[in-house]
Structure 1
Amino acid sequence: MIAPILIVGAGPAGLVLALLLRRNGIPIRIIDKNETSPVGSRASRLQPRTLELYKFLGILREIEARAGAGSITIQVYTSPEGFGPINSFAIYEELIPHPAYHRINGLTICQDDHEAILRQVLEREYGVPVEFGTELISFEHAPNSVVARLVNTLNNTKETAQFDWLVGADGVNSTVRKQLGLELEGYGALENDYVVGDVEAKIAHHTTRWKVWGNCIQRTLLLRPYTKNGKPYFQFTCGGHDINVANMATKNRNELVNTMYDIIGNRRIEFGKVISVGIWRANTRMVHELIRERVFLVGDAAHVHSPTGGLGINTSIQDSFNLAWKLSLVHKGLAPPKPLLNSYTSERVHVIAESLGKTKTKRTISKLPHTHKRPQSRDWDTRQFGINYRGGLITLDHGDPEAQLQAGDRAPETPGLIVASTGQKKSLHPNVNLTSQLPSDVVKRVLVYPQGTEPGLIGDDAVIDADGYAFEHYEVKAKEQKVVVVRPDGYIGAMTGSTSGIMNYFASIFGWHL
């Protein structure tokens, strides 16, 4: 079978997109120019909104089984170290679970473990391996297709292949982005480079707390502890004016370890084998177009983040969730390209700009419904529950423009629904699934009745809001009828009180003529 979609790059954004497209029955190829999968912890923070989306994808339990602690305490030391930390604080607070959120707290997982899970699921469930050692050399647009020239660096064979669509998920040095003529624009880089990587640690000195010495101007060292296969490791970040980053990054263990000991001021921490090392420069940049004809950009190919808040990898994964359902409907001929594919750029560019701190508007941070006011937390915005697409090309809202919950917002969780015919409790999201085929398979209808409704009085396609969360979280008043469309990426597409309003919404998405 010829794969109609080529995904270039097998990092988290590319792998998630591959899984979502295969889940929708679309064959794909996914290639990566690296000859083997990268090692190292790298981007390790998954925010709770991403984990919520992973629940939709059916991989959350596998991620949780390999993950580390969600809450993190960081200890700050002088350089050289004195008699103890001069400060200690939590950078990711542990919040009490709330019924409006499937998971309210994030977690940490090494990126190589994270990617391994995604690859395993892709091959186990869909029979699609990542083609490592396969590089995109160039591509050109053709009528209704994209012609790509590939080379297998393992055996030096070349290939020219035709695809319906091409997605660049090939990172900050993206070949796809460069050939499209798009440039990353923004604040540029910080003055200093940093050396980053992973090193084995002696277990007697292992801890769950992060440790940082010095300051980022002269010299600094950050150690993030983690455990893999029962062995302790540190992810390290080291830099500053006084540090020769180039020498440290040569993989000369002595140079690297001795510099870290010099910053710490003692040798109480014992380092072992250096697992990975590289040079990194923090910067915040993005493109302002994510689609050109039949070619798309996702992830680091389209935006580069600072490590603050751990937003880069999460924003990348959410790019793929936004694009996948739209591309699936268009590719299957169930929806016209406009406005659906155009909405990928219009929706995501605002979110990316907000996450980079490049816009003063707070358009993407919504007021959460007063019925489940957000917990007090210093890092609430980084959890990404407030991201929204209000007023977008494919949203419809006939409600109060001042309402707390509006079309374009994240769809709140609604645990405690009872399926009338079985008495089995469920949450709303699995029932509202718009990822299959028209009409009944693409648009799944669920009727939600209030607490106290007798099961015998309603049909099999209905559920009872036994715990009251659906009516509360969606702000439905007594005896009010409200129709809500939940998109496959977990956002509200439409909110209205009329059947005609919903039909008009679907007509705009699917190109129906009413």
Structure 2
Amino acid sequence: MREVLIVGAGPVGLTLACELARYRVGVRLIDRSLRATQTSKALVVWSRTLELMDRMGCTAAFLAAGLRARGVTLRSGGRVLGHVDFSGIASPYAFGLMIPQCETERLLTEHLRSLGGAVERGIELVAFSRGADAVEAELRHVDGRVERVTTPFLIGCDGAHSAVRHRLDLPFGGSAQGDEWLLADIRVDGAGAPPGDEVSVYLHRDGPFVIFPIPGGRARVVATIGRAEDRPRPDPTLAEVQALVRARAGPGIRVSDPVWLSHFRIHERKVSEYRRGRVFLAGDAAHIHSPAGGQGMNTGMQDAVNLAWKLAAVLRAEAAPALLDSYSPERNAVGETVLRNAGRLTAMATLTHPLAQVLRNGALRALLGLGAVRAGMVTTMSEIGIGYPASPLSAGRGAGRRWPPERAAGPPPGAGTDPRFVLYTADAAGGAALAARFPTLVEPLPRPAPEPGRLHLVRPDGYVGLAAQADAWEEAGRYLGALAPA
């Protein structure tokens, strides 16, 4: 079996490589950079991503390295507008795991190494051509040597300036948000410092100011500092950060020991299709958006998990190639939702008109007092509410939804080395007979049905594919027959 070529060894490319290696698919992961990310960048791994890491086998390492954020508090003018407690997340991981991206990449690289894989650095994709049966790619090594390779599939995980996307000539529609933002990774202390296990949002008349906790007693500070200009600004100084903290959060907070001071702008862009033939896009190569809510990296890593089991099943000749047709519509819909939600949060936080700010703060105070609103917020932020109800792989009432981990009745669906569906039924004999008809698609032993009178086929990524009546064996057979290899 020829190796799948993944371009870009950030969290998304690493996740995809790990998953393909776990499913015993040959993979080659390249990156033009000579070294891994050295800065914190994306900071949070959310509940749904941690659940998916259970399948990957690396959750424990992340939990040991990260800091568990228990909630978020919104303040304005010295008053608390509301608090959202992450313990309400309906997941075994009812928190946001704060961990710098450089650590995320290190842990995923180590996990890939444990699976027999590695990152090849100093290699750049310079060209490729798509054929009916393969992709021909041209790679340039750091020493100038040019290598030509043939791969069954090429996946661009190479970020916002994706070479793969550019060479596909896919429009990256969207725009830049109008504000300039300050970023500082620093140490925060003092009598007025917020708790070290929560995200603190200060909605000031001059713009939002947010403190994110980081392991090791550090914090990430972000804030708007005015409208963006055409010319680049010099990096901020620690004194400027301290002045901003004093103005927007109060005099009782001290900042020190900076390791990263920078400015950035928010871009909101997305492709409309994540696939062209044998070439796919995932992560920032397909979608970039506001960091509000911390969804970007998580969404990209979940792109990778969604694609990996499908590629593995097809490459192992255990599923029909048509299975891959579901990737773009499923993840495109998720990308649209994440972009829209993050954009709304940013727009709300950056209101500039005094009356609009007063109305916003009053609305937040009222809404955050409602349990249903807080529950909706944590479901969205943690990404456990993501599903695929409109997917071509979803059939029946309730199909497409996340299968809660407590219903697994064994290892998570998709764990191990085979990308198989799991059948949940009260009829063990009937279930075994169905599995025997489709041995490459379904685990041989059915598991007990958690819903009386219902039958479920759960995908390797933990979403319901088929939801049907308990005796719907013909329907289940048709469903699997459409996915079975020729």
Matches within 5 A, 1:154-303: 155-186=143-174, 188-200=175-187, 207-208=195-196, 209-211=198-200, 215=204, 218=206, 221-228=209-216, 232-241=217-226, 249-250=234-235, 255-265=236-246, 270-303=254-287
Per the TM alignment, residue 210 of structure 1 is displaced from its structure 2 partner at its CA by 4.5
Per the TM alignment, residue 179 of structure 1 is displaced from its structure 2 partner at its CA by 0.8
Per the TM alignment, residue 343 of structure 1 is displaced from its structure 2 partner at its CA by 0.8
Q: Is the 8 A contact 2:412 2:462 kept in 1?
A: no
Per the TM alignment, residue 170 of structure 1 is displaced from its structure 2 partner at its CA by 0.7
Q: Is the 8 A contact 1:483 1:498 kept in 2?
A: yes
Q: Is the 8 A contact 1:325 1:435 kept in 2?
A: no
* Cα displacement string for residues 433-483 of structure 1 (whole angstroms, at most 9, x for unaligned residues): 48766xxx8455565479xxxxxxxxx9566x6xxxx53xx3x2xxx3x32
With normalisation by structure 1, the TM-score equals 0.75
CA distance 1:461–1:178, change in 2 (3 Å)? closer
Q: What's the secondary structure of 2:41's corresponding residue?
A: coil
The equivalent residue for 2:100 is 110
Per the TM alignment, residue 358 of structure 1 is displaced from its structure 2 partner at its CA by 7.7
The equivalent residue for 1:501 is 475
The equivalent residue for 1:413 is 405
Q: What's the secondary structure of 1:357's corresponding residue?
A: helix
> CA RMSD, aligned part only?
3.3
CA distance 1:162–1:204, change in 2 (3 Å)? farther
Q: Is the 8 A contact 1:432 1:445 kept in 2?
A: no
Q: Is the 8 A contact 1:34 1:133 kept in 2?
A: yes
Q: Distance in 2 between matches of 1:324 and 1:7?
A: 11
Q: What's the secondary structure of 2:226's corresponding residue?
A: coil
Per the TM alignment, residue 13 of structure 1 is displaced from its structure 2 partner at its CA by 1.2
The equivalent residue for 1:351 is 334
Q: What's the secondary structure of 1:140's corresponding residue?
A: strand
Per the TM alignment, residue 87 of structure 1 is displaced from its structure 2 partner at its CA by 3.3
The equivalent residue for 1:418 is none
Correspondent of 1:126 among 106, 111, 115:
115
1:342 paired to 2:325: yes
CA distance 1:132–1:198, change in 2 (3 Å)? farther
* Cα displacement string for residues 58-106 of structure 1 (whole angstroms, at most 9, x for unaligned residues): 111111111112313446466xxxxxx343643x5232575xx433443
Richer in helix (by share): 2
CA distance 1:313–1:462, change in 2 (3 Å)? closer
Q: Is the 8 A contact 2:422 2:459 kept in 1?
A: no
Which residue type is aligned with residue 47 of structure 1? W
* Cα displacement string for residues 324-383 of structure 1 (whole angstroms, at most 9, x for unaligned residues): 111111112222222x11111111111111222289xxxxxxxxxxxxx99845432222
Correspondent of 1:93 among 80, 85, 95:
85
CA distance 1:256–1:290, change in 2 (3 Å)? same
The equivalent residue for 2:39 is 40
Q: Is the 8 A contact 2:425 2:456 kept in 1?
A: no
Q: Distance in 2 between matches of 1:303 and 1:21?
A: 22
1:25 paired to 2:13: no
Q: Between the two proteins, what is the percent identity of the paired residues?
A: 27
Q: What's the secondary structure of 1:240's corresponding residue?
A: strand
The equivalent residue for 1:5 is 4
Correspondent of 2:409 among 428, 435, 439:
428
Q: What's the secondary structure of 1:65's corresponding residue?
A: helix
Q: Is the 8 A contact 1:219 1:243 kept in 2?
A: no
CA distance 1:198–1:156, change in 2 (3 Å)? farther
Number of corresponding residues: 435
Correspondent of 1:138 among 127, 130, 134:
127
Which residue type is aligned with residue 326 of structure 2? S
Q: Is the 8 A contact 1:434 1:443 kept in 2?
A: no
Q: Is the 8 A contact 2:71 2:95 kept in 1?
A: no
* Cα displacement string for residues 20-56 of structure 1 (whole angstroms, at most 9, x for unaligned residues): 1011101111112222111222221222111111112
Any unmatched runs of 5+ in structure 2? 343-371, 429-443
The equivalent residue for 2:462 is 490
Which residue type is aligned with residue 240 of structure 1? I
Q: Distance in 2 between matches of 1:53 and 1:510?
A: 25
Q: Distance in 2 between matches of 1:387 and 1:51?
A: 14
* Cα displacement string for residues 113-142 of structure 1 (whole angstroms, at most 9, x for unaligned residues): 11211111101x222121222221221223
The equivalent residue for 2:347 is none
1:65 paired to 2:31: no
Q: What's the secondary structure of 1:430's corresponding residue?
A: coil
Q: What's the secondary structure of 1:177's corresponding residue?
A: helix
Which residue type is aligned with residue 261 of structure 1? Q
Which residue type is aligned with residue 106 of structure 1? G
Mean Cα displacement is larger for which, 272-281 or 21-30?
272-281
Q: Distance in 1 between matches of 2:199 and 2:240?
A: 19
Correspondent of 2:296 among 304, 307, 312:
312
Which residue type is aligned with residue 256 of structure 1? T
Which residue type is aligned with residue 308 of structure 1? A
